[in-house]
Structure 1
């Protein structure tokens, strides 16, 4: 499977999503590791089988085994953190923000790839999971290290398009069942 295989799964009404997949796959704002890590982390964050398989196959041609693992780890850790920190942000009782999280997050200290690449992937996943607190934290780290806004935006665009493609594939699969 590949991005073209994934594009073939898009029905006519989702032509824009298909075209966005294609243009983002050839995007030059991010290097291959940054770009394909965003694609893979986003696919794993949504978790729709055909999308995960197509993107994993495409990413495997561009990413080292360590980067493949780190992208999946970004999806995993943000799957936990986005829920936890979004909950703290939404709750009226701010006492919970003063308590230690007491959740293991060791991967954040040593993700096995360049830290800013992992931050980009975490930003894309945080957008998918709708956690404003995590988006602000990761975007702040990226900006502090000189990552241009255009690169952050590209990570967000990848997350948005992979999310849309995943929802379309899941919906079409449900209709066919």
Structure 2
């Protein structure tokens, strides 16, 4: 499925999502690796097969194979980290944050792409899964390295529209099967 086919698959009530998907992905001021890596990591995090397929096909035209692998790795590692760190935070017991994770996270140190791109993708995935601890951590790392708020904002916009497309198509599929 292509990006155009993905937009065409969105129902009329999701016209805003369709238009935003086209404009956010089509005119992003981010470098292609940042925008399409963000889109791919977010598509995977959003879990809808049609969104993943469409965005992966388009992303492959703009990303190196190493960047595709790194975007997938960002979605994978953040699937684990977002659950773990969000849960420790939400429990509200001050003892949990001091306990070591003891979870393997080596991909974060050597992602196969520029570390800041990987941080941006991890931030965007964290926005989808709602992990405030991870959002804060990745935003601070990006800002400390000189990444602008506008870049962070753009990654959040990409996350929002990719996730909205996935939610809409997933709901339509479930309702059609009911």
Could you tell me the TM-score, scaled by structure 1's length?
Answer: 0.98
Assess if the C-alpha contact under 8 Å between 2:43 and 2:166 holds in 1: yes
Pair 1:158 & 2:158 matched: yes
Q: Using the alignment, how far apart are the partners of 2:124 and 2:27 within structure 1?
A: 16
Q: Using the alignment, how far apart are the partners of 2:91 and 2:74 within structure 1?
A: 25
Q: Using the alignment, how far apart are the partners of 2:153 and 2:27 within structure 1?
A: 12
Q: Deviations over 1:8-29 (max 9, x none)?
A: 1110100000011111122242
Q: Using the alignment, how far apart are the partners of 2:170 and 2:26 within structure 1?
A: 25
Q: Using the alignment, how far apart are the partners of 2:69 and 2:84 within structure 1?
A: 23
Partner of 1:122: 122
Q: Using the alignment, how far apart are the partners of 2:27 and 2:121 within structure 1?
A: 16
Unaligned ranges ≥5, structure 1: none
Q: Deviations over 1:120-146 (max 9, x none)?
A: 100100000000000000000110011
Partner of 2:112: 112
Assess if the C-alpha contact under 8 Å between 1:67 and 1:113 holds in 2: yes
Assess if the C-alpha contact under 8 Å between 1:29 and 1:150 holds in 2: no
Q: Using the alignment, how far apart are the partners of 2:172 and 2:132 within structure 1?
A: 30
- Aligned length in residues: 177
Pair 1:19 & 2:7 matched: no
Q: Deviations over 1:26-67 (max 9, x none)?
A: 224210000000000000001110110000000011100000
**Aligned positions of 1:1-150 closer than 5 A:** 1-150=1-150
Q: Using the alignment, how far apart are the partners of 2:164 and 2:20 within structure 1?
A: 10
Q: CA deviation at 1:92?
A: 2.1
Q: Using the alignment, how far apart are the partners of 2:92 and 2:154 within structure 1?
A: 33
Q: Using the alignment, how far apart are the partners of 1:167 and 1:84 within structure 2?
A: 23
Could you tell me the TM-score, scaled by structure 2's length?
Answer: 0.97
Q: Using the alignment, how far apart are the partners of 2:119 and 2:2 within structure 1?
A: 25
